[in-house]
């Protein structure tokens, strides 16, 4: 079995417009050399190629899931789109039980989640579709608690989303907006509990600046120079009182379908008292669109994950291979949980290493993040332990790209270029085949056509570079997809991919030549 290292430069796309690309502006001598000196091709990391709707930008969860699965994995977004647009969600027993609870107990339903068409964590079309369905269900009341995006979408896109939501409420004569807050607070995933506390106190105690309309709240935020992601808690009031807060016995539907950024808020609302932070759980009939955490008790789930059988990690484990997965905090779940198709625990032969992400408010303040720590650690392990397969993630182009700060994103890309070079050289010295790629685009477009910062992912193709010390393989002359990586990795390692891996093998032996 040959040894292989997969380096994922998170958010490193191939720019359509180099003038708006931090990657193209950066000094990246290793990358510039590698794309000319080694076999190079491109991969599709968005839309139908990764199981998303056509034209939908990819993201880290989707990207790592497809990479690890070795096939196109149809995403929750596509599945739930179909369920809601067709009305099939009404046949879902957990959905019916939620509605029955509201009717029999006379309790309101609180719809809670990210107000966005980014398609990464949620979809505004799911929310408006739910309002359409709920309009015929004779519920006591329906309230919406909107978490503002500005990260996977335009930083000032929230006003239009609020208008779309209010238009749907008017059309279907259902629902009222009760509160708004930026995702920076409500959707933290790094145990920064003071952020979650702001959202908790807004939802439970109605603590926030008061406005009579959601539109006024968003416009005020913009006037204060605050973009959607960082919007401070806003309470919508009628006759001087909050429209609605979460109360004991109420029903909640958290409509985010991505799991990671819904866990902490769900934890403090339903699972675990945090008296030191002033947060205590409530007795709620609490439903989530997907399963946010296997350990949650008493949380109802509308759509369970479909099992991925014989993904790369599982297949290598069964064949006795040793594996290393390494990333910093921000991307650690992606190289472990998502790469392994939603499996929490390491399999036989797997080793997980997490380097803590720096504790800064936003990563433009430290664009180097923890890349050098990852570089040093992985080189140390390569030389000492020689694991058969290594998957590492450099988070910088994505996480710094999300800040919209061009100069910081340039520094992030330069950091990753230097660290990737060091790791690739060490791997080559130890006889490793090296594949360098990305999971989606981001830093390749830092500016919108009007010159404003772009903080969202892109639909760019991503690079694929093959460094084979023995030069036994070439890359095919074709645009592949992320789901082709696992069978390609197995081919390079000398293992036949399992039949469940329907992705293409993107390499050919040198003697066969390059084919189309």
Could you list the active site residues? 60
CB–CB of 227/251 below 8 Å? no
Q: Which helix (H) or strand (E) holds 302?
A: strand 299-303
Q: How many CA atoms lie within 13 A of 371 on its CB side?
A: 29
Q: Which of 49, 83, 80 is CA-nearest to residue 67?
A: 49
Whole-number Å distance between alpha carbons of 276 and 194: 11
Which parts of 156-309 fold into alpha helices (H)? Answer: 158-172, 183-186, 193-205, 214-223, 263-266
Backbone φ and ψ of 477, nearest 5°: -85, 70
Q: Enumerate helices (H) and strands (E) in the chain, giving the number of each.
A: 17, 19
Parallel, antiparallel or unpaired: strands 507-509 and 473-475: antiparallel
Residue environment code for 171-188, b if the CB has 16+ CB neighbours within 10 A, otherwise e: ebebbbbbbbbbbbbbbb
Whole-number Å distance between alpha carbons of 364 and 498: 42
Residue with tokens 């050919």: 508
Residue with tokens 């064949």: 319
CB–CB of 472/466 below 8 Å? no
Q: Which of 123, 8, 2, 1 is CA-nearest to residue 423?
A: 8
């Amino acid at each position: 079995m040959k040894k292989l290292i997969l380096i994922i430069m998170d958010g490193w796309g191939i720019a359509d417009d180099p003038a708006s690309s931090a990657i193209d502006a950066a000094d990246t001598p290793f990358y510039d050399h590698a794309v000319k000196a080694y076999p190079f091709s491109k991969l599709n990391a968005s839309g139908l190629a990764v199981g998303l709707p056509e034209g939908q930008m990819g993201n880290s969860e989707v990207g790592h899931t497809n990479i690890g699965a070795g096939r196109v994995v149809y995403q929750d977004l596509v599945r739930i789109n179909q369920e809601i647009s067709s009305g099939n969600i009404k046949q879902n027993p957990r959905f019916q039980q939620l509605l029955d609870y509201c009717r029999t107990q006379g309790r309101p339903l609180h719809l809670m989640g990210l107000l966005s068409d980014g398609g990464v964590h949620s979809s505004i079309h799911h929310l408006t579709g739910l309002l359409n369905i709920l309009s015929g269900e004779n519920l006591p009341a329906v309230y919406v608690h909107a978490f503002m995006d500005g990260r996977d979408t335009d930083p000032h896109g929230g006003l239009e989303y609020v208008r779309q939501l209010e238009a749907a409420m008017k059309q279907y004569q259902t629902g009222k907006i009760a509160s708004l807050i930026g995702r920076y607070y409500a959707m933290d995933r790094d145990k920064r509990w003071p952020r979650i506390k702001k959202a908790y106190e807004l939802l439970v105690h109605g603590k926030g600046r008061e406005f009579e309309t959601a539109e006024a709240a968003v416009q005020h935020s913009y006037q204060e120079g605050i973009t959607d992601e960082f919007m401070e808690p806003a309470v919508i009031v009628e006759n001087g009182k909050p429209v609605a807060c979460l109360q004991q016995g109420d029903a909640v539907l958290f409509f985010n379908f991505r799991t990671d950024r819904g866990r902490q808020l769900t934890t403090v609302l339903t699972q675990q008292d945090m008296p030191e932070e002033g947060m205590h759980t409530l007795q709620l009939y609490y439903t989530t669109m997907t399963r946010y955490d296997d350990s949650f008790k008493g949380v109802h789930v509308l759509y369970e994950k479909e099992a991925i059988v014989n993904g790369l990690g599982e297949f290598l484990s069964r064949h006795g291979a040793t594996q290393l997965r390494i990333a910093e905090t921000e991307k650690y779940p992606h190289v472990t949980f998502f790469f392994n198709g939603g499996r929490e625990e390491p399999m036989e032969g797997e080793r997980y290493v997490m380097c803590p992400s720096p504790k800064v408010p936003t990563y433009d303040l430290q664009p180097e993040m923890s890349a050098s720590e990852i570089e040093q650690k992985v080189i140390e392990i390569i030389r000492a332990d020689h694991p058969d397969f290594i998957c590492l993630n450099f988070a910088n182009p994505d996480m710094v790209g999300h800040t919209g700060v061009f100069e910081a994103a340039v520094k992030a890309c330069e950091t990753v270029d230097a660290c990737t070079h060091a790791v690739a050289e060490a791997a080559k010295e130890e006889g490793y085949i090296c594949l360098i790629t990305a999971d989606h685009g981001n830093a390749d477009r830092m500016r919108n056509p009007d010159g404003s910062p772009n903080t969202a992912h892109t639909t760019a193709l991503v690079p694929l570079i093959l460094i084979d010390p023995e030069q036994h393989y070439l890359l095919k002359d074709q645009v592949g997809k992320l789901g082709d990586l696992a069978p390609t990795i197995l081919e390079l390692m000398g293992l036949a991919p399992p039949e469940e891996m329907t992705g293409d093998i993107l390499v050919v032996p040198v003697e066969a030549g390059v084919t189309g």
